[in-house]
Every structure is written in C-alpha cells, then in structure tokens.
Structure 1
C-alpha cells in the first residue's frame, strides 16, 4: 500500500481534500478515494480496491520514463464553463523517447 500511495503522489493524484496522501500503508478513506480517481483515469471498474488491474496500471505508468515525472492536467470545458478538472496521464507523451 505504501508503494501505491507513493505512486499516486508522484502522479499528482490527490485525495478528496486536494492533498497528497500520507504514505503510511493504511487503506483509509482518503487512500480509497484516491484509488477510485486512479481507476477512473485507467477506465477500470471503480471500487476503491487496489487489485491486480490497478497495480498493473500503476506499474505501466511508472515505468514510462516521461510519465515518471510528468503529469498533464486536463480541464474539460462544457458550454464555456469549467465543469470538471481531471488529472490525466496522456500515454502518447509516454511513448515519446528523448534518447
């Protein structure tokens, strides 16, 4: 759980209070809520459980050289109003090799 909390913090996916997670290894309500945000980003079933699909998605994201340090903030506008702000990892950028 500590690994997941560290990765969520690295990906700038914050808790419901817009704070980084405390890396304590506990699966409390803030961690569960943040896991749900990640599941939404990864287009997985949203249950807040850190199962194999979540860990696989985190591993894939964190192994990308650019993604390990870069997160894209995407604002979705509807009818010229800001409706939702999502933290999204744009995998196209992760595929770019700078070497």
Structure 2
C-alpha cells in the first residue's frame, strides 16, 4: 500500500476539506464546489488525487458522479498508524518497567 500517497493526498488543506466532506456524506462535484472556496475543476482535481491514493471511490448516478470515502483505504491508513502507535506504547511500557527493575 502506498501510504506516502495517502499522506501526501491529505497534506493539502483544501484536499482534506474535500475528503472530510465526502467522508461525512457522499457528494457530487458540484455539491462539493458549492460548499468550498474552489472551482468545480479544482474539486475534480482534488478528488482525482484522493482517488489515486485510494481514499475515495466514485459511482455513477445517471450523469452525475458521486464520491464517497473508501472504507478500505481508511482501514489501511489506520492499520499503518496503529502499528506505530502500538510500537510506541510498547516502548514506553518497557522504559517505565526498566525504571521499576532498578
């Protein structure tokens, strides 16, 4: 999994706003653009980056494209972060226990 792409995709503040909006509720490009200070083409570009990173999916509804957060992408990212969080907690516990043994 390309975690660098995921973090890079979420590194842009406008892109994070787009992602947060589709994570809250699936939306079309026009709906997103109406709520954000960027144009429809800019929203489309942000969605492409998020899609390429595996964070959003698109489905056709007639002539509209509806974008939503991709649960598998979020699960992958969370698992990656969780691995490091667990390692950090284990290291912290080992350090605390080292002080008790002395």
| Higher relative contact order (CA closer than 8 Å, sequence separation 6+) | 2
Compare CA radii of gyration and give the structure with the larger one.
2
Q: Which TM-score applies when normalising by structure 2? A: 0.31
Q: Which TM-score applies when normalising by structure 1? A: 0.32
Counting helix residues as a fraction of each chain, which structure ranks higher?
Answer: 2
